Amino acid sequence: MSAARVLALLELLQARPGLTGPELAARLGIHPRTVRRHLATLDSLGVPVVADRGRHGGYRLLPGYRLPPLMLTGDEAVAVVLGLLAAERTGLHAAAPAVSSAQAKIDRVLPAELRERTRAVAETLGFSASMRSPGRSSEEPSVAAPRADVLLSLGEATRDHRRVRLEYTSWSGAPSERELDPFGLVFHAGRWYVTGHDHLRDGVRTFRLDRVASVRQVGAGSPPPVGFDPVGTVVAGIGEVRWATPVKVVLHAPLNDVRARLPRSAGTLEAHPDGTLLRGRAERLDGLASMLAGLGWRFSVHSPDELRAAVRALAQRLAEDAAAV
């Protein structure tokens, strides 16, 4: 008997009291006899359903009966838990006082297995800065959502140091199977990632979760190296994508000031005699030029020449705009 259909029947009884057996069957896509079996299941669980007499009588919950406050599917539970985590970890301070109490309430009403799986995700998930990477295309979708079962399975494997086998599709569309010891889950710039030791490549690699078709545990895995930073690893890996142009710019500002203003996805920062050296990569040099100009500091482009050209083009356009009547 489908638990999901029993819950769907309960939701219908709450939302549309008085529906007849055939009407309930039509809405659920099941036989009227199955409706009666599901009603009997609700009765055995202590949910009082009464039938109105007469030719047009229907079913409804006993007047005055109050349903439990929450009944969540796996996907719904993941959505709620991740929303609370995002509010807590990305600076939504207005929500902070209520986050802990809301999480406690969710924990109390979730089934034990689902509660443990969502806790595993919470314990292993990292958030990067919420800003979009400089030079990234603005035409990309803002969110690429993974399947809930993929996220839950990887959360468990990461927490428990279990090796998994992924069915994965690369950026070029090539399918592959990868064995991975997952070290951390990361949400960055609207996408979900898992990073860990990839046994096919014998090194640390990062995978996008929306490209993972399935996850299966295959045995004991290895824990991450001491001091391993999943967020930093993912952000640095994305910054080195092969289709992006390497850039080197000196910002005439103190290192600490630059660190406070730029997201980690901008690249690596180090002290320089003239201020701060930024090394990174950018898909769109015109976007990077606009970002550099918007910081308000003087800067010197060391490479590439194409970035110098993009800065000159931006300066000319701004000068023309300023001179326009």
* DSSP letters for 223-269: PPPTT--HHHHHHHHHHT-TTSEEEEEEESS-HHHHHHHS-GGG-EE
Residue 287 reports pLDDT greater than 60: yes
Lowest mean pLDDT across 113-117, 229-233, 312-316: 113-117
pLDDT tens per residue, range 68-106:
655 666 677 777 777 777 666 655 545 555 666 667 777
> 138 pLDDT band (50/70/90 cuts)?
very low
Residue 275 has a pLDDT of 95
Residue 137 has a pLDDT of 45
Residues 6 or more apart whose CB falls under 8 angstroms from that of 27 comprise 12, 19
Q: Which of 227, 178, 225 is nearest to 206 (CA)?
A: 178
Range 198-226 average pLDDT: 91
Range 130-140 average pLDDT: 45
- By DSSP bridging, strand 162-169 and strand 175-188 are antiparallel
Between CA 25 and CA 36 the distance in angstroms is: 9
Between CA 233 and CA 268 the distance in angstroms is: 12
Between CA 90 and CA 104 the distance in angstroms is: 20
Residue 131 reports pLDDT greater than 70: no
**Which of the two residues, 255 and 1, has the higher pLDDT score?**
255
Residue 142 has a pLDDT of 47
% of the chain with per-residue pLDDT over 90: 31
> 141 pLDDT band (50/70/90 cuts)?
very low
Q: If you average pLDDT over each of 189-198, 228-237, 243-252, 268-277, which comes out highest?
A: 268-277
Q: In angstroms, how far apart are the furthest CA atoms of the chain? A: 90
Q: If you average pLDDT over each of 2-6, 25-29, 219-223, which comes out highest?
A: 219-223
Residue 248 reports pLDDT greater than 90: yes
Residue 140 has a pLDDT of 44
Element (H or E) spanning 108, and its range? helix 96-109
Range 218-231 average pLDDT: 91
Residue 45 has a pLDDT of 76
